Structure 1
Amino acid sequence: MSSTVQSPSRVSFGLYEADLQSGELWKAGHRIKIQSQPFKVLSILLERPGEVVSREELQQRLWGKDTIVDFDHSLGTAINKIREALSDSADNPRFVETLARRGYRFIAPVTYPVQAVAQASAAPVTVPTEPQTTTARAESIPKSRASFSPSTIRFVLSGVGLMAVLAAAGVGFYLGQSQGRGEPDRITQLTHHGRISPGAPAMESFPSAATDGVRIFTGQIENGRTILSQVFVNTGETMPLPVPSEIAAPSLGDLSPDGSKLLLRSHLSPESEQPLWVVPTGGGSALRVANINAHDATWMSDGSGILYAAGSQLSVTHLQDGASVPFATLPFGRAFWLRWSPDGKVLRFTILDPIAHTQSLWEMDAKSRKAKPLLVNWSKPATECCGTWTSDGKYYIFQSSHDGNTDLWQYNGSSAPTKITNGPLDFQAPVAARNGHRIFFLGLDSRSELQRFDATRREFLPERAFLANASRVTYSRDAQWVAWTDPQGRLWRARVDGTEKIQLTPESMQVFLAQWSPDGQQLALMARQPGKAWQLYAIQADGGSPTALLQENRNAGDPSWSADGKTLVFGRVTDLMGMESTTRNLQLLNLETHKTEAIPNSEGYFSPRWSPDGRYIAAISLDQRRLVLYDVAAKTWKALATTSVADPVWSADSRTIYLHAFMANTQPIYRVSIPDGKLEEVASLTSFRTGDIADYFFSGITPDSVPLVRARTATGNLYMLDLDGK
């Protein structure tokens, strides 16, 4: 039998908090109406989170043996009321799971406010003692898909992610399946502010952490920017670690073997290769590693030098003389998350394929320096990333995505990998403790909201319900229809009032953006299939299968229509979305002949946008620091604005372009006059009602030129797990 947990008086889960004594339910500080009987059922489920509570037990505790009621109807009604209060779903539950003919289970992570834990110290939380019950619980916790995928270059570069608000406390929860023990591993939440930077691997921004045994060093989001922070392992307290202003949006490479120095680089600028910096963990002056630009780096295992990756080359530099020597050349792609085995004999790392957009694990012997894949054909397409060795080299822990969820896996070098977490959060970026088998990692619970700018009130307000989950939004030119991508990359279409809503693209396709044709009959897409390059597609607005418009094996993106609907202009992608050695320029695609031609003098530009009247094509320089304008008739270029630029959008009258200056301090949205290039600020990070917005990205404009943004309030938290079950 399982031992019953005597819960403290207050229980927190996600945005919710239940006061079990007063019978009150709160969401983000606001009281939610819930009737007495449903709350009693919820209280019973919360007493034993993760365990099955049988229907018979619920009947006896709520109504007693001798009470005559329509039990099935009453219990079903109570469960429905609970789900209504928690905005939950029986088909895809986040909180209450139904087990047919058995009972119900509360499946979300449960924590307790500190004062409640102190009050309940005499009644500790216990885990089930029967292996069968434990195994069933671990295997059936549902997987939750991240609800916000990388959608803009600007969003990724700032390192900002999504909302993961889990209530404070030090009580661990139990997930995954320990190999050979028949009981779940204990996962303990370390931080509770929800601001750990998650990065975006699809655009070469990986979350990363390192530990000296006392602190965990990692990125954190503050005021729309990534800062370097230190999290104290014993208390979860988080403090910023100051770094020079030259290291904007610091990205952590590694901690030196003696625990005294950090390797950093900036990830705000779109350039993929950035200067390396050495920063003391105790504070002090930073050292620029001379004459080196790299996209990732790690210390050599003996601390004698730095191994860094630039392009497909690995090299070693020594701080004493600044000399660099080649170390190895990769067969393809670019290497990230370079990690040495504890004995310094084997290097393992992640390779990003710029065409297939896959992540795979590789290893290299220190002597032979020949790279070879680690888990051949283990998953298709490969999604493995970001591995770390335990201090004794016994285990290698990495992340991999399956069935829409990212979990951590354990690999001992001989048998097949074993999953050690099982959702419901996305678990990423493991880092091993300096002794034992404890690991720390990031847990994501991704939530965000589309908001519309109210010019009268000078602030952003939540958008109407059917668009609340939209990422990028585009309206037809007659202003009757709206299309949008959701966080999973699916494309939807509806009338502007939300009616006639349909999903246009299949689950397997990831859509980056879509643009309506002038007649509103179809949309041009930048999208990709799993394991494939970004490509151009067309799809009918009333549904059907997407049609590929190009026959080539390289990245293409940002299709935009000519005024007559007969031609598309398109470009290539930045290094951060797929570094290629071929020329990147803007091209015109004739939709009748399917022939392409380059726009003169367009080398080094991307993200083209054709004006609705057909007179101009706006584009961005590859470093995203200039907005340029092409006169289609005169075939001439001019610099329109010099500022950081992302996501340009034409107004319906072709008189202005809206853009996001993502590198500026307050990340303003500007309106640029055509053709004189006058800049006018419309909104910024300060234009939000609440102060808890971590960051936002520009989603588009309405037909009457009202900016839409997707605002994020938080990212994720750090968690801890001991592979020995301690």
Structure 2
Amino acid sequence: MDDRGTPAIAYRFLDWRYEPALRRLVGPAGEARLKPLLDRLLRRLLDEPGAVLARERLIDEVWTRREVNDEVLSRAIAELRGVLGDDARAPRYVETLSKGGYRWIAPVDRIAAPSPADASPQGTRAPWRIAATAVLAVVAGLAAFAGWWHARERVAGPAALAMGLLGAHPLASDPRLEYDARFDPAGRVAYVRGTGDGDASELVLVDPKTLAERVLWQDDHALRRPAPSPDGREIALTRYLDGGCELWSVALVDLQRTHLAECAPAPQTGPEWVEGGEALVFTGSAADAAHAPGLVVLDRRRGMRRVLTTPDIAEGAHVDARLSPDRTRLVYASRHAGEEQLWQADWPAMRTRTALLDRSEPAYAHAFEPAGNALWVAGDLTLYRALHRLRAGHRPELIGGRGALSIDLAPNGAAVWAEANYDADVWLRANAQAPWRVIARSNRYESQPEFSPDGTRIALISNRSGAESVLVVDLRDGKVRPLALDPAFRWLRPTWTPRGDALVITAYEDRHTRLYRYPLDGDVATPIAHVETDAFLGVELADRLVYLGGHGNSRPLMQLRAGSTVAEPAGIEAVTTYRASNDWVVWRAQGSTDLHVARWLTPTIVRTLASDDDGEAFTITGDVVTWLDHGALWRANLPDGTPVKIASDRVPDGNGPSLAAGKDGALALVTLTSLGIDLMIAEAALPPGPR
């Protein structure tokens, strides 16, 4: 990359100073050295502030290898934003342009290297001036250090925390999947390791300083969520069996294993030590059919249990309890259909609780900061999966750690998390005799395929540019068209209008969802009128628009009839997800994996289709329903056609809507191509002491 104008020895922009010669970035919380790639990218942006730099140009001028693609650039931009504490939704530094470029928007001061004529000879400077300069330098240095330390101790915001993650590195070199890391009192890390192609797993304890590992338990079943005891003598964890869950502990002295209790087989459930290590909080069985599994405390001395929570089934299971450092608050999640609400309750009375999120979000784990003033949450709380800082009454703040699935923080400020890299592709089979072929391939996550009414195009979502957005693939020539959507939002659930000339798309706009219509000949997404905020998954039929209304994981189905300005209930309640055609609606109800079928004219159940899948692998085209059950695809004509098994060597296994059916027997489905989960550790993620 050529230097432009007078070489700069430093750049100043807002709260930052960058010194290219040292690759040193200095900000409110201290300094860090950028790795070479981020150094080249930042310098290239700073050299032309305000200029629109096309993605292709940045790739050509920043990268030294030719095989780089768009998503590598997207990841680098996201990483740079994480370092600077920038937010793609409201950028202060790097703006994303809808047509595929980036622009540096913060004011930049270039501090040029002095010429020889500007420099005074050392010998002509008066001794008193040299001494005064030295004294002032010392004073300024002490003041700067004091300010830096105060900032780290008191005001460590997202930018400072992001800088703390710059030194993160893999904790283990094993190629297997690594999950659920937790620190023990000695600073060691307990975690679970597995292969990903079965339930076999092992519990491992590793010393981050020496990387010496000790395998504590090898089992043919899935071990998850280890929790070291406060005295460091044992580790509690969950063990998943077929349809069941057990709570165990492992003593570190002799590896003696003790069965403690039965637990609910809810996802992401794990134990938490309370009462100084004398008791454990975990997810117990549901009280009855009207309730989801709730939290239970087990007193190990007396062998007694006490029920802490009894959530309604619509709220979802209570999982992942974490006790605050001062042992006065318990934070746990209510989890259902892949999303969580975080709750904070007073401990041990559990008399009141407060929701920490404005709405349920895809979240996977949380941990208290050492001072207990905030949580770190691994999840999709902003535009993509990463680590976020969450304080009661505040919006989530992006920190970094893209792909984080778990998080734990040590008293000394170290952080450890599991970082996942998913690659899912959409596969197409034109008919029963045609081979499967992948469309819109990338090494990121493609999902939610939907055929156009004439079967010539497929809309799908992809996170190749960072957050989810929508692509349209023309099956006639294979061309992939990214839609010009606002990059500050997450866009998902595309469905086609009856004429196939537009899409209805759901947007995550900060704290709410909204339905948009996107005409393919207009390149502008427009909010759909007369539909309330938080509407979700819109489907436009010949005579009405239908969508999920309300809030939470179980919603009523709403409809806006053609020509009307007022939406009304469709007569179907407690819906977790649905698909619709002009004559039929198929949905999954709260608390059941079976699919229910009704006609629009009389929305009472006329048929139930057995399914063991609790996801969204089902679709309807005209009068034909296609769905996943017991690892196989099935098809049935409505209203009373016999289910027929579809011969296929592929079945959907992706998250979210993962199956679509088109004309003439065409199928599109999502399969997970690869998955990597590695442990990352940052020894200085947080400053020690109170903040």
Superposition TM-score, scaled by structure 1 size: 0.57
Match of 2:578 among 602, 608, 618: 608
1:318 and 2:318 matched = no
Q: What amino acid sits opposite 1:318 in the alignment?
A: D
2:609 corresponding residue in structure 1: 640
* Aligned-residue offset at 1:651: 6.2
Offset from partner CA, 1:423-462 (integer Å, 9 cap, x none): 5x444533246x8665422223444433335888997543
* Aligned-residue offset at 1:384: 12
Question: How far apart in 2 are the matches of 1:302 and 1:518?
Answer: 62
1:252 corresponding residue in structure 2: 225
2:586 corresponding residue in structure 1: 618
Please state whether the residue corresponding to 1:230 is helix, strand or coil.
strand
1:470 and 2:463 matched = no
Show structure 2 runs of 5+ residues with no match. 1-32, 41-57, 90-148, 154-159, 284-290
Match of 2:632 among 657, 661, 668: 668
Aligned 8 A contact 2:165 2:400 in 1: no
2:327 corresponding residue in structure 1: 345
Question: How far apart in 1 are the matches of 2:403 and 2:444?
Answer: 22
Count how many residue pairs are aligned between Structure 1 and Structure 2: 536
CA distance 1:266–1:242, change in 2 (3 Å): closer
* Aligned-residue offset at 1:717: 0.4
Aligned 8 A contact 2:557 2:573 in 1: yes
Offset from partner CA, 1:1-60 (integer Å, 9 cap, x none): xxxxxxxxxxxxxxxxxxxxxxxxxxxxxxxxxxxxxxxxxxxxxxx99248999xxxxx
* Aligned-residue offset at 1:713: 0.7
Match of 1:721 among 676, 682, 687: 682
Aligned 8 A contact 2:181 2:190 in 1: no
Offset from partner CA, 1:204-256 (integer Å, 9 cap, x none): xxx66465866623475622x67654234135688974376xxxx76537444
Question: How far apart in 2 are the matches of 1:52 and 1:626?
Answer: 50
Match of 1:490 among 460, 469, 474: 469
* Aligned-residue offset at 1:516: 0.9
CA distance 1:719–1:339, change in 2 (3 Å): same
1:242 corresponding residue in structure 2: 219
Match of 2:386 among 373, 381, 406: 406
1:430 and 2:407 matched = yes
Question: How far apart in 1 are the matches of 2:530 and 2:215?
Answer: 49
Question: How far apart in 2 are the matches of 1:89 and 1:492?
Answer: 14
Bigger mean CA offset, 467-476 vs 637-646: 467-476
1:711 corresponding residue in structure 2: 672
Offset from partner CA, 1:545-602 (integer Å, 9 cap, x none): 332456546x65443344xx112344469xxx9346xxx55444313214455555x4
Match of 1:442 among 401, 418, 440: 418
Please state whether the residue corresponding to 1:508 is helix, strand or coil.
coil
CA distance 1:302–1:639, change in 2 (3 Å): same
Offset from partner CA, 1:258-286 (integer Å, 9 cap, x none): 553534387999xxxxx863123357674
Question: How far apart in 2 are the matches of 1:457 and 1:627?
Answer: 28
- How do 1:195-594 residues align onto structure 2 when only pairs under 5 Å count? 196=177, 209=182, 211=184, 216-218=190-192, 220=194, 222-223=196-197, 229-233=202-206, 234-235=211-212, 241-242=218-219, 252=225, 254-257=227-230, 259-264=233-238, 277-281=246-250, 282=255, 286-289=259-262, 298-307=272-281, 316-318=297-299, 320=302, 322-324=304-306, 326=308, 337-341=320-324, 345-349=327-331, 362=344, 364=346, 386-388=366-368, 398-399=376-377, 406-407=386-387, 425-427=402-404, 429-432=406-409, 438-453=414-429, 461-464=437-440, 470-487=446-463, 488-493=467-472, 495-496=474-475, 497=477, 499=479, 501-532=481-512, 534-542=513-521, 543-548=523-528, 551-552=531-532, 556-562=535-541, 565-571=542-548, 578-579=552-553, 584-594=555-565
Aligned 8 A contact 1:651 1:657 in 2: yes
Question: How far apart in 2 are the matches of 1:308 and 1:519?
Answer: 51
Offset from partner CA, 1:165-192 (integer Å, 9 cap, x none): xxxxxxxxxxxx9958999874331234
CA distance 1:616–1:215, change in 2 (3 Å): same
Aligned 8 A contact 2:548 2:557 in 1: yes
Q: What amino acid sits opposite 1:430 in the alignment?
A: I
Aligned 8 A contact 2:530 2:567 in 1: no
* Aligned-residue offset at 1:406: 2.9
Show structure 1 runs of 5+ residues with no match. 1-47, 56-75, 98-106, 109-135, 146-176, 199-206, 270-274, 688-692
CA distance 1:599–1:314, change in 2 (3 Å): same
Please state whether the residue corresponding to 1:217 is helix, strand or coil.
strand
Q: What amino acid sits opposite 2:635 in the alignment?
A: R
CA distance 1:714–1:520, change in 2 (3 Å): same
Question: How far apart in 2 are the matches of 1:629 and 1:418?
Answer: 42
Aligned 8 A contact 1:308 1:315 in 2: yes
* Aligned-residue offset at 1:341: 4.4
CA distance 1:493–1:300, change in 2 (3 Å): same
Please state whether the residue corresponding to 2:272 is helix, strand or coil.
strand
Question: How far apart in 1 are the matches of 2:651 and 2:448?
Answer: 21
Superposition TM-score, scaled by structure 2 size: 0.59
Please state whether the residue corresponding to 1:302 is helix, strand or coil.
helix
Question: How far apart in 2 are the matches of 1:340 and 1:279?
Answer: 19
CA distance 1:189–1:585, change in 2 (3 Å): same
Please state whether the residue corresponding to 1:84 is helix, strand or coil.
coil
Aligned 8 A contact 1:208 1:251 in 2: no
Question: How far apart in 1 are the matches of 2:281 and 2:185?
Answer: 20
Please state whether the residue corresponding to 1:514 is helix, strand or coil.
strand
- How do 1:137-152 residues align onto structure 2 when only pairs under 5 Å count? 139=83
